[in-house]
Amino acid sequence: MRYISFHKDTSVFTLHTKTSMYQMQVGRYGTLLHLYYGDDLGDARIIHSIVNLDRGFSGNPYEADRDRKFSLDVLPQEYTAEGNGDYRIQGIEAEHEDGSHVLQLKYDSHEIRKGKYALAGLPAMFAGEDEAETLEIVLKDELSGLCVKLLYGVLWDCDIITRTVEVVNRGKTNITLRRVMSAELDFPKRPMDMVHFYGRHSMERLTERQPLHHGIQSVESKRGISSHHHNPAVIFCDHTATEDYGECFGIAFVYSGNFICQAELDQVDQTRVVMGIHPYQFAWTLKPGESFVAPEAAMSYSGTGLETLSHHFHDGFREHLIRSSYVKRPRPILVNNWEATYFEFNEEKLYGIAKAARDVGLEMFVLDDGWFGKRDSDYTGLGDWYVNEEKIHGGLPKLVKKIRKLGLKFGIWLEPEMVSEDSDLYRKHPDWCLRVPGRLPVRSRSQLNLDVTKKEVRDYIMEQIFKVIDSCQADYIKWDVNRALGNVYSQGVEAGKQGEVFHRHMLGVYDMMERLIGRYPNLLFETCAGGGGRYDAGMLYYSPQIWCSDNTDAADRLEIHYGTSFFYPISTFGAHVSVCPNHQTGRTTSLRTRGIVAGAGTFGYELDLEHMDEGEKKAATSQIAQFKASEELVQQGDYYRLSAPGDRSNSVFWEFVSKDKRDVLVAGVVLRSEVNPPVNLLRFRGLEPNLIYRERESGEEYSGAVLMKAGLALPVTSEDYESVVYRFEAKGEFESEKKR
């Protein structure tokens, strides 16, 4: 089956996925026009969608002569450049040696090939040769010799089209790139909403939906990380779109550093969307023969609502982005000591927590911050990756040996990208951090960023980390980063190339992570950035799970998980049961509710198990068994958002349905206890209407149609934040269907 075709008579390119179609055309004067993105229309070529009109104050290319109806200022295009009479947001901006910024990008050539392109040094989706195809279109600026290669990867089975750009200087002079977007997408006139996921530290990926207005709207990060504040994944949808109705377009950036996504509603009600590396402090000079490769963006379309769009990204990321063997394997259920001890512990205390973990059925103990260097607070020690034997007498191997004798695996926390000024490493190598010469640095969490653009820095840090991992044969690594980038100046980069440092820093981080998973392919790797500050598709290329937020409060996690679920698989949500009153909010929720919320994620514990009473330990043992029984369904099933934080249902409920639709888990939380409450009906989705579903605990039986159309009445609760769980399994056809 061919996923990509080129029709010579009309110069139309068509890209097909399972349910969608994307189309573009080489138009007049070599302009690459965008025609269509939406439902699959078979062999249709949508060339009639291009309508040329004379628009006042919209310039016309010189070669158009007296044809005032041809203007790039209003034409839908695939990839645009500054200086051509198109005043909208652009894909690329380049500065020539003479100071000019004009590029006239014309179609030069194309190639269609089997398989999916790969990106050296950058995360990207992957596929087998028979699972995907690649389209490469070359646009060229004749005067300067600058070539822009547009790369499209079509992953048919998950309805995803990936995009990136390679810029090659085939001219004779230096060219400085000031802006290189990875994807650009033009929409015809249509009313649309923009859905994005904003937040802050400990309240990440909250959902905001607003109609597009005339002008430019953007979400972005200039922090050197994708950030807690805006996520690099955005949805554009019909005003009327719901979970199971309407057209939706999603775009996710497969990158973990500075980004920008802009949407501009123009003078004639067309919308242009661009996504790529943020132009802030970005300047990349290409000498003749050199090239620059932009990170990847992944796009998907759904004609049947938001949940279908989520399923495309969930399946696509699980099958074609996450490389870890744990993507389809059960993961050890762990306890992390951080909220139990913070920096105050010794080996006896750690062993006590591990022993209690064994007794309730947990499978791994994770040692968090405070085990290395002179690390009694967050003011000291980062960069000194050797064990603090004043806390852990006899070193890590001795402690780990005792923990393994309990039958537990062992994991450890690291923060490889950072350094404390009060550390042996900083005293020896103060030039190894990002810092502007002659200026006092900006601190954050009392630490500085290591300059991982330098190979010698990466080599040293990874060598120390490898020694630690080898000494204890760690089964799990939690890789944290607890500040944004600041003082962004590298003493290893010449003054004229400081505009490359942000991106080179991110490439350095990826190099370090690639070394880690290359050396330890069976390691369970979890990334973290003060919780969810780097929760993006780029990180999932290296780690199968990300610590979702430093906020472990079950009530707040309902909102955090809800927003995160629009793009990211539930199996990637790092989620733990913690103590109450919660350390972040002071709120108290039941152990049952905390377990159910954490169970919509990777599931684990982060509390002092030794201080649990016998009833709590018994409940934890039951929670662990219940999660193990549903883990495969949670990791691999289709996910449905049945109710949302803030809607009128006074609840947040979600649903997992197995691919064969025979296994169903519905769980959620009723937020507030009410006097004389209304009856809220919970309507399921994604079931087979003609199957009978039996609820395991009650034994009650319902057809799939009844559960989806009539629903179940939620129980009346007597306390705030009470949780509810249903587990159904299909028996067979509904009786009335058999009679037919």
DSSP string for residues in 468-513: HHHHHT-SEEEE---S---S---TTS-GGGGGGHHHHHHHHHHHHH
Parallel/antiparallel/unpaired status of strands 712-713 and 681-682: antiparallel
Q: How far, in whole angstroms, is CA 677 from its chain's centroid?
A: 38
Which amino acid, residue 271? T
Residue 481, Cβ neighbours under 10 Å: how many? Answer: 22
CA-to-CA separations, 475 to 169, 410, 498, 523, in angstroms, rounded: 45, 6, 38, 5
From the list 126, 255, 123, the residue with the least C-alpha distance to 181 is 255
Which amino acid, residue 436? V
Residues 6+ apart with CB under 8 A from 217: 194, 210, 262, 263, 264
Q: Rounded to 10 degrees, what is the CA torsion of 398, 401, 406, 411?
A: 100
Q: The tokens of 688 are what?
A: 């087979």
Tell me if residue 616 is catalytic.
yes
From the list 94, 108, 266, the residue with the least C-alpha distance to 173 is 94
Residues 6+ apart with CB under 8 A from 404: 410
Contact 226, 199 (CB under 8 A): no
Backbone angles phi, psi at 237, to 5 degrees: -145, 165
Contact 151, 135 (CB under 8 A): yes
Tell me if residue 204 is catalytic.
no
Parallel/antiparallel/unpaired status of strands 92-96 and 175-187: antiparallel
d(CA 628, CA 608): 22
From the list 226, 113, 121, 129, the residue with the least C-alpha distance to 166 is 121
CA 358, 360, 361, 364 torsion-angle sign: negative
Q: The tokens of 562 are what?
A: 């809800």
- DSSP structure class, residue 158: G
Which amino acid, residue 90? Q
3-state secondary structure (DSSP) of residue 81 = strand
d(CA 275, CA 500): 18
d(CA 379, CA 445): 8
Locus of tokens 């398989």 = 115
Contact 127, 162 (CB under 8 A): no
Contact 357, 608 (CB under 8 A): no
CA-to-CA separations, 705 to 670, 686, 710, 739, in angstroms, rounded: 24, 10, 8, 16
Parallel/antiparallel/unpaired status of strands 701-703 and 691-695: antiparallel
Residue 61, Cβ neighbours under 10 Å: how many? Answer: 16
3-state secondary structure (DSSP) of residue 653 = strand
From the list 413, 342, 340, the residue with the least C-alpha distance to 576 is 340
From the list 183, 181, 149, the residue with the least C-alpha distance to 22 is 183
Length of the chain measured in residues: 740
User: Of the residues 73, 136, 424, 616, which is catalytic?
Assistant: 616
d(CA 634, CA 655): 9
- DSSP structure class, residue 444: B
Active-site positions? 536, 616
